[in-house]
Amino acid sequence: MKLAPYRIYLGNNYKERFVALKADAVFEGGGVKGIGLVGAVSEIENAGYTFENLAGTSAGAIVSSLLAVDYKAAEIKNELERLNYNDFKDEGLLEKLGFFGKSLSLGFEYGIYEGEFFESWLEGLLVAKGKTTFGQIKTKYKEDKYKYRFQAIAADIIDRRLLVLPNDLKLFGIKPDDFSISRAVRMSMSIPFFFEPVELRDTSGRKHLIVDGGLLSNYPIWLLDDGTDDPPWPTFGFKLIEPDERKLKEAKRNPINNPISFLKAIVGTMLDAHDSYHISKSKGDYERTIGIPTVVTINGSDKEIGTTDFGITQEESRALYDNGVKVARKFLQKWDFDRWKKKYRKE
C-alpha cells in the first residue's frame, strides 16, 4: 500500500508522518460529465489515499461502482475514452420509427432509450474484476450504511421516495447480496424521459418505477457520515460545479423544436441545476468538496458540457478530466483533516 505524508495538527504546530490514508467518497451525478470525477480521483489516489466506502448518483454511481470493484482511475479513464456515449442511446423497435416512434415509446415505456447497452457495458467491466453482485463487495462493518462498499442513489417515482441501494431493495423482497451491481447503477442513471425506468414490484405485487437518483439527491454527501465527533477518516465529495463560488450560471438557451426537445430541455435544466446551493458550510461540506468545473476551453472558446451532451468529443472529455486533476491538486494543498474535525466536529 502506498504511504503518503500526513500532517498531524498539534495546537499551532504540525508534525508530518507517513501513513496509509483512507477516505470515504461520495460522487455527484452528471451524465457525460462523469470523466471529470475520474480526473479528480486520479489525484486523490496519487496522494496515497485508498477508498473505504463509496456512494454516488447517476454518473457518480458509475465511477464509484468501478472503484468499489478495484478499478483505478487510470483504468476507468481508459474505458471512458474508448466509449462512444451515443451508444447509450439504444433504440427499441418503437424508437426506430423516428419521431412518431419515440413519442409512442414515451407514452408506453416512459423513456426513449432502452438502457440495455449501458447495463451490458458496465456488467462487462465488473465481470473483468470478478465482482458483479453486492454480496461480492460486502465489508466487515455491521452498520447498514457501511455493509457494502458501494451504494447507489435512485428514486422511486411511484412512492416519491429516495432509495439507497442495495439496502432498500429489502422493500421489494429482494436480497441485497444477490442483486446485480450493474442493475442498481442502471437504476441510478435512468435519466427521466431519456431512459426507460427500471420496474420493480414490491411484496404485494404493486409496480414501482425507478429512475435517476438525481431527482431527489444528486449529491448525497451526508450518506457516509458516521455521526461521531471524531470520524477515523474523511469523506471527500466530488461535485461537478463551479470550483470557487456557488453561483447561478449564466442562462444557456435550449432549442425547442418539438415535444422531444422540450422534454430534453426540462430534464437537462433540472439535473444541471439540482441542489447547486445545498452544500452545508456549517457542517464543513463546502471544505470537503472537490468542485470540478464543467466549462472546458476548446480552441480558445469556452463551452459548458451538459448532462445529456451525448455527442461530447474526445477533446472535450479530456479537458473535463484535466479540470478534475487541477482542482483536486489544489484541494489537497489546503486539506487538513485534523483542522477540519477541530472546526466542524469537535465543538
Question: What residues are annotated to the active site?
Answer: 58, 212
CA distance 63 to 166: 16
Angle in degrees, CA 188, 216, 61, rounded to 5: 30
Tell me if 197 sits within 8 A of 106, measured CB to CB. Answer: no
CA distance 40 to 326: 8
* Backbone phi, psi, residue 89, to 5°: -85, 65
The torsion region of residue 32 among left (phi > 0), alpha (psi -120 to 50) and beta comes to alpha
Contacts of 299 (CB under 8 A, 6+ apart): none
CA distance 115 to 54: 23
Tell me if 32 sits within 8 A of 321, measured CB to CB. Answer: no
Q: Give how far Cα 197 sits from Cα of 185, 213, 300, 319, Å.
A: 12, 11, 39, 31
CA distance 296 to 163: 33
Strands 4-10, 13-19: pairing kind:
antiparallel
Please report where in the chains the cell 471529470 appears, as a residue.
36
Taking the CB of residue 205, how many other CB atoms lie within 10 A of it? 6
Tell me if 213 sits within 8 A of 162, measured CB to CB. Answer: yes
3-state secondary structure of 190: coil
Give all strands (DSSP E) within the chain, no chain letters.
4-10, 13-19, 21-27, 49-57, 111-113, 150-156, 161-165, 193-195, 198-201, 207-212, 235-239, 289-291, 295-298, 301-304
Nearest CA to 219 out of 72, 76, 38, 28 is that of 28
